[in-house]
């Protein structure tokens, strides 16, 4: 009997996620004639467009960009010899993240260019908050690898440092996610709201690294 190689499912996942990246093209085709010739592609903190491109770039170029990014990320992650150490849920998350992002970002951009009124900032912040909570929940289950997690030399060279850092980081990311969701519903203008989120992001990114370094210095001092 021929044993099935578990790795054969990965190309299938890549094909499926790449197709999902292109699904927004269906919406693009439906609304293409109604899009302005110069479509807004980027907005400033006040919500005003500051970069435009031909509508074809938005309608078709963006899904293709996400598909290319999806392929690159997939092969980078699976080229890591330690990628199986990552939490299975986290690995699935990485495999599907770009395609889900395409399903969210491209339709939002299309609808915004059609002048459909939406609480875009609130939607984005809630999604970011949910993402933080999700990642924080599974971060402690993530073992050493080179692509998923808090990857600094102190965590990669010391399993105990990695585990302690990810337990603390996971808790911090969950708190950061909850605060982000709360911020989404506060009566703040775009600039203040985004500033608050950037501060939260800075804290949840920097504090685990500093904590990891403190563990490294403590361990190094103990050895000496």
Lowest mean pLDDT among 2-6, 114-118, 137-141, 212-216: 2-6
**Confidence label for 119 from pLDDT (cuts 50, 70 and 90):** confident
Euclidean distance between CA atoms 162 and 143, whole angstroms: 8
pLDDT tens for 29-50 read 999 999 999 999 988 766 688 8
State how far Cα 145 lies from the chain centre.
Answer: 18
pLDDT at 175 over 60: yes
pLDDT tens for 67-92 read 999 999 998 888 877 667 777 888 88
Q: For residues 31 and 110, is the Cβ–Cβ distance under 8 A?
A: yes
């Amino acid at each position: 009997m021929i044993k099935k190689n578990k790795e054969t499912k990965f190309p299938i996942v890549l094909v499926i996620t790449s197709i999902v990246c292109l699904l927004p093209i269906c919406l693009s085709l439906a609304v293409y004639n109604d899009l302005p010739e110069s479509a807004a592609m980027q907005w400033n903190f006040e919500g005003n467009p500051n970069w435009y491109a031909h509508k074809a770039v938005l309608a078709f170029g963006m899904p293709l960009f996400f598909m290319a990014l999806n392929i690159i990320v997939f092969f980078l992650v699976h080229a890591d010899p330690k990628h199986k150490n990552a939490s299975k849920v986290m690995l699935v998350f990485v495999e599907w993240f770009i395609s889900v992002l395409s399903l969210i970002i491209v339709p939002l951009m299309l609808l915004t260019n059609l002048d459909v009124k939406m609480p875009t900032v609130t939607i984005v912040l809630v999604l970011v908050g949910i993402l933080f909570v999700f990642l924080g929940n599974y971060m402690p289950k993530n073992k050493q690898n080179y692509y998923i997690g808090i990857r600094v030399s102190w965590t990669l060279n010391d399993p105990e440092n990695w585990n302690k850092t990810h337990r603390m980081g996971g808790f911090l990311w969950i708190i950061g996610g909850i605060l982000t969701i709360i911020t989404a519903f506060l009566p703040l203008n775009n600039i203040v709201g985004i500033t608050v989120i950037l501060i939260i992001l800075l804290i949840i990114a920097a504090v685990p690294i500093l904590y990891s370094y403190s563990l490294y210095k403590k361990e190094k001092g103990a050895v000496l």
